[in-house]
Amino acid sequence: MQILDQVTVRWTYPSGTSGGPGYNIFYGPNLSAHLDSLRVFYQSCAAFLPLNMSLQIIGNGVKVQDTDGIQVGDWTVTAPAAVVSAVTSNVVVKQAGFVVDWRTQGRNWRGHKIIGKTFFVPCAANTFNSAGEIIAANANTINTAATGMLNVMAGTFGVWSRPVHVRGADGKPTDEILHPGVWAQASSSNVPIKMATLRSRRD
């Protein structure tokens, strides 16, 4: 069983832009001790975000058990400075951007490989080519930053497959665990060139 820090990154949209706030959520053992490294990764991606988009890594959160999701404590640290985009390129589609896939090795959950995703939506127009795909050089820049972060944060950054609870007669989850959750360390990253669409503000 692993004790995981829940780390939240809040997206605040530029003034006059509808939508938001949005959130990226991460989990990892002692992840709260590495917020500066997480900020470096986001700063590397700021060149592809709309002007004045602000991403703030929150300086507090909860600790949960990966097997059952029970909260077992809290953590608080000094939050790093917000990442704010200075790019002047406009937004193409408010619900579209890019996604970073986090791949793991040696772990599976219910017979499937464990893969996580972090969505960056919306993006600035300079992220895409005329075909609506992520420019290859941009995808490489983002993936290089992701790889660098994984190297620095080895053992603390990964993907949590949440537990599945038994449902009662009313269809609501009970306290009984059907499939325990599992956390897996991220070993590599990938940035597809296909445009990603945001389905919820917590993707």
Per residue in 48-73, pLDDT (tens digit) is 998 889 999 999 999 999 999 999 99
In whole angstroms, what is the distance from residue 50 CA to residue 120 CA?
11
Neighbouring-strand partners of residue 170: none
- The pLDDT of residue 202 is 45
> Where are the alpha helices (H) located in the chain, listed in sequence order?
35-45, 136-152
Distance separating alpha carbons of residues 154 and 47, to the nearest angstrom: 25
Looking at residue 51, its pLDDT comes to 86
pLDDT-derived band at 108, boundaries 50, 70, 90: low
Taking the C-alpha atoms of residue 176 and residue 173, their distance in angstroms, rounded to an integer, is: 8
Residue 36 to residue 34: CA distance in whole angstroms: 5
Residue 90: the pLDDT is 66
Token output for 83: 């990442």
- List the one residue out of 14, 16, 17, 24 whose CA is nearest residue 56: 24
Instruction: Provide the token pair at 87.
Output: 């790019």
Q: Residue 44 — pLDDT band, cuts 50, 70, 90?
A: very high
Structure tokens at 31: 């992840």
Domain coordinates of the chain in residue numbers? 3-197
**What's the pLDDT at 166?**
82
> At how many degrees (to 10) do helices 35-45 and 136-152 cross?
170
